[in-house]
Structure 1
Amino acid sequence: MSHTPVKQPTLPFWQVWNVSFGFLGVQFGFAMQNANVSRVLSDLGADLHSLSLFWLAAPVMGLLVQPIVGAASDRTWNRFGRRRPYILGGAFAAAIGMLLMPNAPLFVAFMAPMIFGGMMLALMDGAFNVTMQPFRALVADMVPSEQRTLGYSIQSLLINIGAVFGSILPFLLTNIIGLENTASVGEVAPSVTWAFYLGATVLFGTVLWTVIRTKEYPPEQYNAYKGLDADALAHANRPRPLTAKLAEFWQLFINMPKTMRQLAIVQFFSWFALFIMWVYTTPAITQYVWGVDAKWFDPVFLHTLDEIPAEIAAAKGAAGDWVGILFAGYSLFAAIFSVLLTKIARKMGRKPVYALSLLAGGIGYLSFLLFQAGEPTLVNLGITQVTVPAGALGLVLPMVGVGIAWAAILAMPYAILSDSLPADKMGVYMGIFNFTIAAPQIVSGLFAGWILNSVFDNQAIYIIMLAGVAMVLGAASVIFVKEDDAAPAV
């Protein structure tokens, strides 16, 4: 049973800002992870074909943690709030993981540094998910419907700011502060280490700001604003056997709308490609653009040496920094395209825009082959100047396509899907849809490393080509998605 809701008060602009401010730090941490973890794990001794196995921690943690934490925060009411305990606890754990990961060599007496690094990756990603899920719910809780567009616009702005600066931080520390970006055998470059330290500080600081500056509504007030009946909620949330919950979930899963099934195919190809990009862009451009042979990513070979030659260490460091620039680039292009996406979709239709955006991403990946080595080129980035191979500068162009695809992947599937879902099952089906994000990444993690080693002889540029093919297949799969599918009776 529901009641007529009491009008929820509008919030001053800066209170809406405060509610979302911690998103900046969370995305800062995510971007640090995406741009640098493959570099860190390689420095710690992980070989190329095992990198994707370490990265499995990310989708597995998302698959396990988000539904559990989301359900738990729905049922939590205590003197610290409803969402805030999870947000703060997750941020604290993520910050600990970020502080410890680059210090993995200190724990060599207990386990191999790369294993410790993999454990910290799992801790960070699990903690990011603990923070992110209730954070999204906090915005919906606190911001009234007439300010919801403003709230999520601020959230999108902060997410993209965090993504850009989190991606380029090691580059800034090297080229502005002057920290060393080369790593000895089994060590992590100082610029990356300090980037993780600063990332942990930004993450925890911004989240703490939101937790301190946001006062959640008590249960009675919240229920009045949302038109909810406390007794009905208590009955719906009553304890039930796990078997009953699983049976209900299974019925919803097998009766999912056809549109969701069709979108799942598109999601498989697009997220399979994204996972490959996050894992293998660093070794791909280090080999292909900076000309570093694949043997320099082989830990067995590296441990036969007393030290890595200076020119190899410098090339790997410079390439790793440039990946941060490229990842910041696609985040920036995604932010720009996101502003235009709704208007373009109104004119062209959602499916054509979705398909063309994925095609742009696929072409972006495939065009990596066009940018190899080249003459040293001085690049003026405004804040500093850096010399890179001409091919590295050219790789900014493919990032336009990748950014367009990323913006569409974050928006268009949900816009298409929402019309086909029953209103009373919207939340649970959106949770089920998260499987279409995690599952392809798990498949990619299990098989991409084997493909790289067995089929491509550890030439990482060709695994990026595989990502391009996958993204093009995703674009083609949009053709088979039907938007007018009726919601099933469940």
Structure 2
Amino acid sequence: MTAQLARVASQKPRQGFWGLWNVSFGYFGIQIAFALQNANVSRIFQSLGSEIDDLAFLWIAGPVTGLIIQPLIGYHSDRTWGRLGRRRPYFLAGAVLAALALIGLPNTGMLLLAAAFLWMLDASLNVAMEPFRAFAGDMTPDDQRAQAFAFQTCFIGAGAVLGSLAPALFNWLGIANVASEGVIPPSVRYSFYLGAAAMVLSVGWTVLRVREYSPEEMAAFNGSTVQADAAQHEPLVYPRIGPFWVIAGVVLLALVASLGLDKQLYVLGSGLAVFGLMQIGVRATSAKGALAHIVSDLAQMPVQMRQLAFAQFFTWIGFFIVWIYTTPVVTAQAFGATDTSSAAFNEGADWVGVMFAFYNGVAALAAFLLPLLARRIGNAATHAVGLLCGASGFIGLLLVRDPDLLLLPMVGMGIAWASVLSMPYVILTRVLPPRKFGIYIGIFNFFIVIPQLVVATLMGGVMRSFFPGEPRWTMLVAALMMAMAAAAMMLVKENTRASGE
């Protein structure tokens, strides 16, 4: 009886409404910054003289910085403890640096300097964002994770709506949205200032209002006496397949050079080779630092994480295709315009911004309905349903030609987006050792970033080969990817705890 009472006493406390609000509120500012970046960076680069063909290369900053920084931040945040706690130092540092980048990006008059600010912004947003996923796991018991991630998703949707519409709102208030050549319009600059303020204030709210559990408390919640740094003393696994990745990368680089393939494939080939060299180096030196732990934990992912990785891979291919090609599809199909200087094209492009704001608003609302469905059919099945809603929405973008009716496919897309931002993390945090939430969620980001790199490097060639002048068929490809992701989710086994807790 005494042992049973001790176990009950060591259960992690449930959060009330305001506790969940405080834990997640920082995401509101982070997502405003992301939305501003997604909607306006290409506009800034083009205003500063970038050619359209160079935009994809400049945009590759996001996936690359996320691939490198998120697992490193996860590794170190798992092992940090100080006056501000475990995760909060990273929130705060990332927010301050991102705010500086948001102020600098629209005020530089040089393309290269603007690109440098974009890299700084992406890196800072990754520093602030990565620990937030682990933070929700740290601060809530297993049976409240769905609610915690629902709050995060709600703030992500609300922030995306405000960030997406900010330039139009400032223009509505009488602030100009045009400027002379080489100058960023005032409405865009003021929007970035708004994003900087929101970033610092919302993240600062979470930093000041939440007290993190100490390493000793976290160990007690898990029914053990394991200290926070115990993971550093675990035996490491050194993969033997490094040479395979190097060979694959070198072969791809040789094919690009010899066959004159899309030069962006150099990025993918180089990435494969570097990943292989990293594994070879870690194994050859029997390294013990952050890189060795990332490689080792990648090799030892829980089976549920491997299953989720397949679903994530197809999911993010689908979404990234839609983000890239919705504008040319909608402007051509619903507005009959392909000339980027025409009034019809710009009207259509503005409507795409409204559509994207709408689906983020739907996601903010759907976030609180998904946990209710999950209680009835399970998290994996709920996510599969959400992904199928997204697939139907993408088919709608292929078929619908009336601008107003295009909001209907956005409902399906919004439900899918709400599920993507919550359900995989609910499943994941239930099977991970709590002392490794940070590093494993950082590694999980690989299966978000790699699909984006694949789309960025391959989709242009696919378009030229199979859909020349017909971008609408990319929506069919995206829908098929989402359907495959839904099928993969049905293979995910839930609720098996990771060993070593």
Shorter-chain TM-score tier: 0.7 to 0.9
Mapped contact 2:216–2:225 kept (Cα < 8 A): no
What SS is found at the alignment partner of 2:25?
helix
Alignment of 1:380-419 (within 5 A): 391-416=402-427
Contact 2:150/2:371 (<8 A) preserved: no
Residue of structure 2 in register with 1:331 after alignment: 360
Aligned-pair CA distance for 1:183? 6.0
Q: What residue is the counterpart of 1:448 in the other structure?
A: 459
C-alpha distance in 2 between matches for 1:282 and 1:167: 14
Structure-1 residue corresponding to 2:155: 158
Shift of 1:9: 7.8
Aligned with residue 483 of structure 1, among 484, 487, 493: 493
Identify the match of residue 131 of structure 2 among 128, 131, 134.
Answer: 134
Partner Cα separation in structure 1 for residue 89 and residue 318 of structure 2 = 35
Alignment partners' CA distance in 2, 1:217 and 1:256: 25
Name which of 57, 60, 69 aligns with 1:65: 69
Q: What secondary structure, in the 3-state scheme, does the structure 2 residue paired with 1:282 have?
A: helix
Which of 156, 173, 179 is matched with 1:177 structurally? Answer: 173
Partner of 2:392: 363
Give the corresponding residue for 2:207. 211
CA contact (8 A) 2:45 2:114 kept: yes
Q: Distance in 2 between matches of 1:446 and 1:265?
A: 19
- On the 8 A contact 1:350/1:416 being kept in 2, the answer is yes
CA contact under 8 A between 1:49 and 1:452: conserved in structure 2?
Answer: no
Contact between 2:360 and 2:414, CA under 8 Å: does it hold in 1?
Answer: yes
Q: CA shift at 1:257, angstroms?
A: 4.9
Q: 1:487 to 1:249 in 2, by over 3 A?
A: farther
Question: What CA distance in whole angstroms lies between the structure 2 residues aligned with 1:472 and 1:289?
Answer: 25
- What is the total number of aligned residue pairs between the two structures? 444
TM-score normalised by length of structure 2: 0.73
Contact 2:427–2:494 (CA<8 Å) still a contact in 1?
no
> For 1:191 and 1:434, how far apart are their aligned partners in 2?
33
Whole-angstrom distance in 1 between the partners of 2:375 and 2:129: 30
One-letter amino acid of the counterpart of residue 264, structure 1: A
Q: 1:143 to 1:432 in 2, by over 3 A?
A: closer
Counterpart among 25, 30, 53 of residue 34 in structure 2: 30
**Contact 2:154/2:367 (<8 A) preserved:** no
The amino acid that maps onto 2:189 is T
Letter in 1 for 2:76: A
Amino acid of the structure 2 residue aligned with 1:201: A
Identity %: 41
Cα distance in structure 1, aligned partners of 2:435 and 2:358: 39
The alpha-carbon deviation at position 89 of structure 1 amounts to 1.5
Q: Which residue, 275, 278, 291 being the options, matches 2:320?
A: 275
By how many angstroms is 1:486 displaced? 7.3
Specify the alignment match of 2:103 in structure 1: 99
Measure how far apart 1:439 and its partner are: 1.2
Give deviations 1:403-460, integer Å, cap 9, x for gaps.
Answer: 1221222334345556766788766554433322121111112222343456544654
- Does 2:60 match 1:56? yes
Specify the code of the residue in structure 2 equivalent to 1:191: S
**Secondary structure of 1:243's partner?**
coil
The answer on whether the counterparts of 1:181 and 1:192 sit within 8 Å (CA) in structure 2 is yes
Distance verdict in 2 for CA 1:238–1:424, change over 3 Å: closer
TM-score (norm 1): 0.75
Residues in 2 aligned to 1:125 and 1:269: alpha-carbon distance in whole angstroms? 23
Q: Following TM superposition, by how much is the alpha carbon of 1:7 offset from its aligned partner in structure 2, in angstroms?
A: 8.0
Q: For 1:274, give the aligned amino acid.
A: F
For residues 253-293 of structure 1, what are the alpha-carbon distances to aligned partners after superposition, in whole Å with 9 as ceiling and x for unaligned? 44545544443332222101212223333344344434442
Equivalent residue of 1:395, what SS?
helix
Q: What is the CA-CA distance between 1:130 and the residue it aligns to?
A: 0.6
Contact conserved, 1:25 with 1:162, CA < 8 A, in 2? Answer: yes
Instruction: Provide the residue aligned with 1:474 in structure 2.
Output: 485
Whether the 8 Å contact between 1:19 and 1:210 is mirrored in structure 2 is yes
RMSD of aligned alpha carbons: 4.0
- Mapped to 1, the partners of 2:209 and 2:448 lie a distance apart of 33
Q: Is the 8 A contact 1:35 1:278 kept in 2?
A: no
Give the superposition deviation at 1:78: 3.8
Q: Could you list the per-position Cα deviations for residues 81-131 of structure 1 after superposition, in whole angstroms to 9, with x for gaps in the alignment?
A: 443332222111111222222234x12xxxxx2x44433332222111111
Moved more, 401-410 or 154-163: 154-163
